Structure 1
Amino acid sequence: MIDNKDKVAVIFGVRNDSSIAYDIAVKLHNSGCKIALSYVDDTKVNVLHLLDELGVPQHFAMEVDVRNEEQITRFMQWVYTELGAIDYVLHGVAFGNQQVMCYSLPGSNVPAPKYIDIPFEDLMDSFNISAYSLLRIARVAEPLLAQNASVLTLTYNASQRVFPGYAGMSVNKAALENIVVYLADYFRNKQIRVNAISAGLVMTTSAGGINGVRKLRKLSKATAPLGNIEVGDVGNAALYYFSDLSKKVTGNIHFVDGGFNIMAIAADGE
């Protein structure tokens, strides 16, 4: 059992009880960690409900738009003042609208937007939330982090492969992974590690926005040597990065996808 007693974690991106960040928050709490969660307007109820379930006072949550550095600063400095130096930071936020992900709404007669026509402004907003926000959070967190702190983000294999239903979001994930390795180098003198988990498809609310997600899950089941994953598999891997077990691991893109990333085609007979 990983012992995180008296450790402090700041978690961005809890959406609801199906989200990866939700599972990670629960596992951190159960390992003895003190947690503080951000929320946005449409996730506030779910985040506060999670804290209630865990017996954590609701004031350990705050509304934060990750595009706003002042809001991030207010939140993280408050955590630092209330709980002490921050040991762990989870960046679990991502967003891309219909124009960015190039999908059509169910039952709509309007064709899906074309990849080549992704509007620049929409793509930049999704980049701001999904990728650049990690750099912004790290910048704010730097003077507030404990020795040997760990920063973790969530990515997806579309950064390396074509998933048509993911489209412009793949640009953000590729950028996010690049930010991870550069931050890992940047923090070398402070012994702060920065890593990413590349999760396979799990049926979260966010995954539901991927066109053909159930078809992709079926493909993954046939292709990945270990089959599909569940949200708890990602949470378990995250707990490794949010522990002293990973003190010398940084700049890593850690696949938790049943081995899907190593395969070119499904195995014979599948």
Structure 2
Amino acid sequence: MIDNKNKVALIFGVRNDSSIAYDVAVKLHQSGAKIALSYVDDTKDYVLHLLKELGLSEKSAMQVDVRNEADIAAFMQQAYAALGPIDYILHGVAFGSQQVMCYSLPGSKAPAPTYLNIPFEELMDSFNISAYSLLRIARVAEPFLADQASILTLTYNASQRVFPGYAGMSINKAALENIVYYLADAFRNKGVRVNALSAGLVMTTSAGGINGVRKLRKLTRATAPLGNINAGDVGNAALYYFSDLSKKVTGNIHFVDGGFNIMGIGIDE
């Protein structure tokens, strides 16, 4: 087991017990890290319940809008004052409206919104939350970071491939990966590493609301050499980046998708 005793971890993006960030939070706690979690209105109950399950105080959580630099700063300052310098940050935040992602709802006969008609303002809000927020969090975190800190975000292979039901969000993921590269370089003199996990399709609550996602998961199960993954597989990989094992790894896009990304064609069962 990785020993993270006395390490401090901030986790953005815990949604519920099916989310990747939830699994990462649990594993960081189990490895000995002191954790602090952000939440928004519709995730507050899940976050506070998780803290209760782990025997932690509700003071370990704060409401944070990642579009608001002051919110992020208040969260960082609170964690720093209570726990000490920040060793690990998970950026697990993403949002895209139905119009941005271009998907139809299960059971709906209405056609999916089209890529050509993605509303600009909705796309910009989605970009702000899903991609630029990593840069904003890193900027605010800089004075609070411990030596050899690790920042990790979550991306998806739609940054490089066409997934019609994820269309506009793919723009954000491509931008997010580029931000990872430039942050890795920007932090070179501080020894802070910045990486991304490119997770395969995980059946989160959000994914379950997209029409065709179960068909896609069936395809990936057959196509990926190691089959489908779950949130726990991503959480395990996250622990590598949230440990001394990855002290010299930065600017990396690490696939955790059963090998789906290497395949050139789909394989039907």
Common fold by TM > 0.5: yes
Deviations 1:17-54 (A, max 9, x none): 00000000000000000000000000000000000000
Report if aligned partners of 1:184, 1:250 keep a CA contact under 8 Å in 2.
Answer: yes
Residue aligning to 1:233: 233
Per-residue deviation at 1:105?
A: 2.7
Partner of 2:164, secondary structure, is coil
Per-residue deviation at 1:86?
A: 0.1
Stretches of structure 1 that go unaligned for 5 or more consecutive residues are none
How many matched pairs? 269
Partner of 1:206, secondary structure, is helix
Partner of 1:87, secondary structure, is strand
Report if aligned partners of 1:123, 1:168 keep a CA contact under 8 Å in 2.
Answer: yes
Alpha-carbon distance between aligned partners in 1 of 2:32 and 2:106, rounded to the nearest angstrom: 43
Per-residue deviation at 1:265?
A: 1.5
Residue aligning to 2:22: 22
Q: What letter matches 1:239 in structure 2?
A: L
Residue aligning to 2:83: 83
Per-residue deviation at 1:207?
A: 1.9
Report if aligned partners of 1:148, 1:192 keep a CA contact under 8 Å in 2.
Answer: yes
Alpha-carbon distance between aligned partners in 2 of 1:9 and 1:155, rounded to the nearest angstrom: 19
Q: What letter matches 2:245 in structure 1?
A: L
Alpha-carbon distance between aligned partners in 2 of 1:220 and 1:94, rounded to the nearest angstrom: 22
Report if aligned partners of 2:106, 2:212 keep a CA contact under 8 Å in 1.
Answer: no
1:211 aligns with 2:220: no
Alpha-carbon distance between aligned partners in 2 of 1:103 and 1:230, rounded to the nearest angstrom: 22
Deviations 1:75-126 (A, max 9, x none): 0111001111000000000000011011223343432211100000000000
Residue aligning to 2:104: 104
Q: What letter matches 1:74 in structure 2?
A: A
Report if aligned partners of 1:101, 1:210 keep a CA contact under 8 Å in 2.
Answer: no
Residue aligning to 1:243: 243
Residue aligning to 1:143: 143
Residue aligning to 1:166: 166
Residue aligning to 1:134: 134
Any runs of at least 4 consecutive aligned residues in structure 1 with deviations exceeding 6 A, and if so which?
none
Per-residue deviation at 1:154?
A: 0.2
Per-residue deviation at 1:156?
A: 0.3
Residue aligning to 2:53: 53
Identity score, percent:
82
**TM-score, normalisation: structure 1:** 0.97
Residue aligning to 2:36: 36
**TM-score, normalisation: structure 2:** 0.98
Partner of 2:111, secondary structure, is coil
Alpha-carbon distance between aligned partners in 1 of 2:194 and 2:209, rounded to the nearest angstrom: 27
CA RMSD of aligned residues (A): 1.1
Report if aligned partners of 2:92, 2:153 keep a CA contact under 8 Å in 1.
Answer: yes
Stretches of structure 2 that go unaligned for 5 or more consecutive residues are none
Q: What letter matches 1:8 in structure 2?
A: V
Partner of 1:180, secondary structure, is helix
Partner of 2:205, secondary structure, is coil
Report if aligned partners of 1:104, 1:111 keep a CA contact under 8 Å in 2.
Answer: yes
Residue aligning to 1:196: 196
Deviations 1:202-260 (A, max 9, x none): 11112224431101110101110000011100000000000000000000000000000
Report if aligned partners of 2:106, 2:211 keep a CA contact under 8 Å in 1.
Answer: no
Q: What letter matches 2:28 in structure 1?
A: L
Report if aligned partners of 2:8, 2:86 keep a CA contact under 8 Å in 1.
Answer: yes
Alpha-carbon distance between aligned partners in 1 of 2:186 and 2:41, rounded to the nearest angstrom: 33
Residue aligning to 1:114: 114
Residue aligning to 2:184: 184
Alpha-carbon distance between aligned partners in 2 of 1:239 and 1:180, rounded to the nearest angstrom: 18
Partner of 1:65, secondary structure, is coil
Alpha-carbon distance between aligned partners in 1 of 2:5 and 2:228, rounded to the nearest angstrom: 32
Report if aligned partners of 2:89, 2:152 keep a CA contact under 8 Å in 1.
Answer: yes
Residue aligning to 1:65: 65
Alpha-carbon distance between aligned partners in 2 of 1:170 and 1:211, rounded to the nearest angstrom: 17
1:247–1:224 CA distance, 2 compared to 1 (3 A)? same
